[in-house]
Structure 1
Amino acid sequence: MKWTKALRANQLSMIVGGATAGFALVAILWWVSGTPLGIDSSVYRAGGFAVVRGESLYSPLLALPGWAPELPFTYPPFAALLFTSLTALPTQLCWGLLALAAAPSLYIALRPFVDRAHLPLLLLGAFAMQPVWQTIGLGQVNLVLMAAVVADMVLLRDSRWRGIAIGIVAAVKLIPLIFIVHLLVVRRFADAVRALAAFAGATALAMVVLPGDSVRYWTSAIRNAHFAVTKGWVGNQSWQAFVTRTMPDGTVATVAIVVFTAVCAALAMWLVHRFHRAGEDRLALLVTAGCSLLFSPISWTHHWVWVVPALGFLAARGHRGVAVVIALLFTGWTVSVVPGGGGAERSWNLGEAIIGNAYLIAALVAGLVCLFRTVSDPSKWPNRSRRPAGTAMGEDQCEHVSAVKRPG
């Protein structure tokens, strides 16, 4: 009914507008009072200043505010070129700029995965997820990058520019290169070519503008010593972190990492192919996103923002109880109740190991469930709408983009 749609639209506008206004107010108040705000956004800003001033990007950042920890710049040089725009703003307002993008990014990322009736509640509840509130608090770019990937896969499905956003996102942060592999697996070759071209073009631009920093990044800085030291910290929820916490360094640990990555990659590509053929492109995208978190050497808890569209997908499929359990798991308590830092993770007992690796375990269990159900009964997975194989995902969820409706 029209009044129901209008009410829901008003709710969404209130949530997005209220969150945006609230973050803007915080940024202004913190700026006026000189209160520290945005650790990671201050690093982005300092990286931008390093470019503007001709300083070394992968040496200690000279433009960091005095209250910020001496964190290194770990992104590719192209990201630093983008971050030069932040040099025009005070540190707190740089945080505010990224925070203003949080609610719209969540809406874009969540919309294709959830029924309209549940969207306001899930959008509001997303702010209780640790990956979301930690991303916002730190001034991170995770939500923006996730929204760009979802928009490229869904909203631009009929555009000749499809794939370019994924390539640019990959040039900002390398892990999204996995989505180009996703495009190849689902036989979207033209999109994959555009994504690769965008990635190569952005990287080449950075090489021209920042030749010294580019050479240093691709030859040494990409293996950041800061990451090597903190890899085993509980805040890192990748497979390599799990191995670091549970196995001694050496050949066995290396084999565990390589074998797991190879097997998981093969199974994931098979699942993505099967889901795509069944018309389950949204689920296929979530599989790839989950793999990106498992495969990356560093998957900080704030990188796990993909849990939000995953919860939307579960709720839309009627698995609300499972969605609630997972949501409670990702509120942040699991990394707070176990010993962490200074190598304490290596002395965890079994209970602490289960709780401390909860994000990772949740992703592995989800992957095994998908694998088991696909092998045991493939008929359970095709979309309820019975969309033909190869049809772009999200049509049933994106009426605002296309007026075409499938027959019921």
Structure 2
Amino acid sequence: MKWSKELRLNRVPVVVGGAMTVFALVALVWWISDTPLGIDSAVYRAGGFAVVRGESVYSPLHALPDWALELPFTYPPFAALLFTALTALPTQLCWGLLALAAAPSLYFALRPFADRAHLPLLLLGAFALQPVWQTIGLGQVNLVLMAAVVADMVLLRDSRWRGITIGIVAAIKLIPLIFIVHLLVVRRFADAVRTLAAFLGVTAFAMVVLPGDSVRYWTSAILNAHFAATKGWVGNQSWQAFVARTMPDGTAATVVIVAFGVACAALAMWLVHRLHRAGDDRAALLVTAGCSLLISPISWTHHWVWVVPAVGYLVAKGHRGVAVAIAVLFTGWTVAVVPGGGGVERDWTLGEAIVGNAYLIVLLIAGVTCLARLSRNQDRLVAESGVTGA
């Protein structure tokens, strides 16, 4: 009986360790056989080489392997400085380094949201979700950045260093800057100040080390032409992509994008405020993460890794059926079954549009559901206070 209990408790390290072992073996075999692996990690490595060689990070990357697409480096200069560490490794082992971090990152991102009993199964099932397996396959940093945000927001509850990690993460990928607003809404003013100071500090450091690239990034490269050309692709599940797929470019589309962005941000922060007052800071964190996915111009399907803690939260709250349905939806089939690329998304039928925008639609439904539930709870409290007063 005691052995059985210990086995149940040790399932998490078995899942994490098993995944890390598999990824390490894949990286080694692919390296030895000189097989292409990790297109995005190859871009990170090439950006690091550009820094080391004194080349412009935001010009065509000369260190990309022959098999890689000629993708641009789209991250801020501070990220390029960090990626210089990858120049010491072959391309496949750079992928392996990021893949090794995937399972521990999933664990740290899930732990505050999931019941301990469900954690091993949720960890194992997470690898079937498209944002996760696509992040791993591409050699992306999404899981690591999400885990860093969760650790800073939830796990470092009593640390005087809270906020600094988010600031550094935001200097690697700008979207986490939205958590500064989150911190202000929940009245964690000191944490918000530390976040902003950390972001400005490391960004200034990058400007000193890479002045030319910094000026180029903040004046032009931040508005990447590659993103502009692909914003309507089905793989982009942001609101701006939805508009690009359904409306012609022009003033009307811009107005719709901006108006929705403002309304979404305002409603999301109101929800964060209400959820924080109700003592549900985990749900509030998920709301902010969801808002960032909606209002970001580019939210590739591999950016949607926040679905993992969201599923864990739903299971912990007893909504297992909803959690399973969402997990099935996020396995990637919705993007695979509809026509995509070359602008064919503009010719979708109604059914194809519903399936092809499924990630976005599910998030919007979740937001409306949360608003309705809070409204019902408010009405109930008002009614109860009226009865008490009577």
TM-score by length of 1: 0.92
- 1:1-400 maps to which residues of 2 (within 5 A)? 6-378=6-378
Distance of 2:50 and 2:3 partners within structure 1: 53
Distance of 1:168 and 1:348 partners within structure 2: 40
Distance of 2:232 and 2:7 partners within structure 1: 47
Q: Which residue of 1 is the match for residue 387 of structure 2?
A: none
Secondary structure, in 3 states, of the residue corresponding to 1:64?
A: coil
Secondary structure, in 3 states, of the residue corresponding to 2:10?
A: helix
Q: CA deviation at 1:376?
A: 1.8
User: Could you give the per-residue CA deviations for residues 112-164 of structure 1, whole angstroms, max 9, x where no partner exists?
Assistant: 00100100000100000000000000000000000000000111110011000
Distance of 2:266 and 2:156 partners within structure 1: 28
Aligned residues: 381
Amino acid across the alignment from 2:377: D
Distance of 2:313 and 2:304 partners within structure 1: 16
Q: Which runs of 4+ in 1 moved over 4 A?
A: 1-5
8 Å Cα contact 1:38-1:92 kept in structure 2: yes
Amino acid across the alignment from 1:268: A
User: Could you give the per-residue CA deviations for residues 331-369 of structure 1, whole angstroms, max 9, x where no partner exists?
Assistant: 000000000000000000100000000000010000000
Distance of 1:96 and 1:134 partners within structure 2: 14
Q: Which runs of 5+ in 2 are unaligned?
A: 382-390
TM-score by length of 2: 0.96
Secondary structure, in 3 states, of the residue corresponding to 1:161?
A: coil
Distance of 1:372 and 1:5 partners within structure 2: 41
CA RMSD of aligned residues (A): 1.3
Distance of 1:164 and 1:9 partners within structure 2: 32
Secondary structure, in 3 states, of the residue corresponding to 2:111?
A: helix
Q: Which runs of 5+ in 1 are unaligned?
A: 382-408
Distance of 1:29 and 1:380 partners within structure 2: 60
Q: CA deviation at 1:13?
A: 1.1
Distance of 1:8 and 1:243 partners within structure 2: 47
Q: Which residue of 2 is the match for residue 406 of structure 1?
A: none
Q: Percent identity?
A: 82
Distance of 1:6 and 1:208 partners within structure 2: 53
Q: Which residue of 1 is the match for residue 385 of structure 2?
A: none
Distance of 1:233 and 1:240 partners within structure 2: 11
Secondary structure, in 3 states, of the residue corresponding to 2:324?
A: helix
Bigger mean CA deviation after superposition, 7-16 or 80-89: 7-16
Distance of 1:27 and 1:225 partners within structure 2: 32
Q: CA deviation at 1:243?
A: 0.2
Distance of 1:181 and 1:150 partners within structure 2: 16
User: Could you give the per-residue CA deviations for residues 1-30 of structure 1, whole angstroms, max 9, x where no partner exists?
Assistant: 976663233111110000000000000000
Secondary structure, in 3 states, of the residue corresponding to 1:377?
A: helix
Q: Which residue of 2 is the match for residue 392 of structure 1?
A: none
Distance of 1:49 and 1:2 partners within structure 2: 53
